[in-house]
Amino acid sequence: MRTPIIAGNWKLNNTISEAVALTTELKGLVTDCTGVEIIVAPTFTALHAVSGVLKGSNIHLAAQDVYWEDSGAFTGEVSAPMLKDVGCDYVIIGHSERRQYFGETNESVNQKVKAALSHDLKPIICVGEQLEDREAGRTETVIEDHITGGIADLSDAQLLSSVVAYEPVWAIGTGKTATPAQAQEVHSLIRKLLTDAYSDEVASQTRIQYGGSVKPENAAELMAQPDVDGALVGGASLQAESFAEIVKSAL
């Protein structure tokens, strides 16, 4: 019922030429992959070039962040209309690194989500707990806080145009991965929170990705869980072959 969705977050990696080479190689490896939505998220500087490579392919383009104003005196920011203009379909919002290093809050996540949706960009809304939160038994509290704040005042249709990505921060770039059971437990919690905020029908149609050291070796087992609808992939998306393997594991 929910189409699997695999997104590669390249973070602060790849020059324009490197991004074009990676995209070109990936495009050839996944050209026959149907029944799964494939996304790559380069840096802002590479979006235009990558957009050109992706034309006519089965891969969607995403940005790694967006500002909530359309234009104005906001030096260094990039707006939703600009992202649409360059060819983006998706935008990652509220990634844990944005929260940790750049002061992202639930309020700013919500503003960005609404700005994206108002310009027909689909937000990938990130939520997740730190290691100290998990060890202190606060996972549920943190997830509820992030979900409630991030989706505040969204309509049913707006939520259905969004994707939620659960990223246990302790598993990002550490080599540690939540077990399939741990991932399923939190994904199930997220779906319950969405049911409480909207309805079972809306929650059952909303896609929830897992992000946190996803590799070809663990992707299939993670995505076999009933509430895990795909993956937000970091390091493994920087190699075309490994990312293609993850995509194929969702089929």
pLDDT over 80 (residue 8): yes
Tokens of 148: 């409630």
Tell me the pLDDT tens digit for each residue of 74-106: 999 999 999 999 999 999 999 999 999 999 999
Check residue 147 and give its pLDDT: 98
Q: What is the reported pLDDT for 1?
A: 83
Per cent of the chain over pLDDT 70 is 100
pLDDT of residue 165: 98
Q: What average pLDDT score do residues 119-147 get? A: 96
What is the structure's pLDDT at 177? 78
Q: Which of 95, 104, 129, 245 is catalytic?
A: 95
- Residues 37, 97, 129, 167: which is the catalytic one? 167
Predicted pLDDT of residue 174: 78
Annotated catalytic residue 140: no
pTM, entire model:
0.98
Helix (H, G, I), strand (E, B) or coil at 163: strand
Dump pLDDT digits (tens) for 151-204: 999 999 999 999 999 999 988 877 777 899 999 999 999 999 999 999 999 999
pLDDT of residue 233: 97
Residue 159: how many CB atoms within 10 A of its CB?
A: 21
Q: What is the mean pLDDT of residues 118-140?
A: 95
Over 80: is that where the pLDDT of 230 sits?
yes
The residue whose two tokens read 């969705």 is: 5
Taking the C-alpha atoms of residue 133 and residue 144, their distance in angstroms, rounded to an integer, is 13
Quick one: pLDDT at residue 153?
98
Q: Model confidence over 35-58: pLDDT tens digits?
A: 999 999 999 999 999 999 999 999
Q: Using alpha carbons, select from 94, 113, 110, 106 the residue that is nearest to residue 9.
A: 94
Of residues 178 and 224, which shows the higher confidence score? 224
Buried b (16+ CB within 10 A) or exposed e, 97-133: bbbeeeebebebbbbbbbbbbebebbbbbbbbbbeeb
167 included as an active-site residue: yes
Q: What is the pLDDT of residue 176?
A: 78
pLDDT-based confidence at residue 229 (cuts at 50, 70, 90): very high
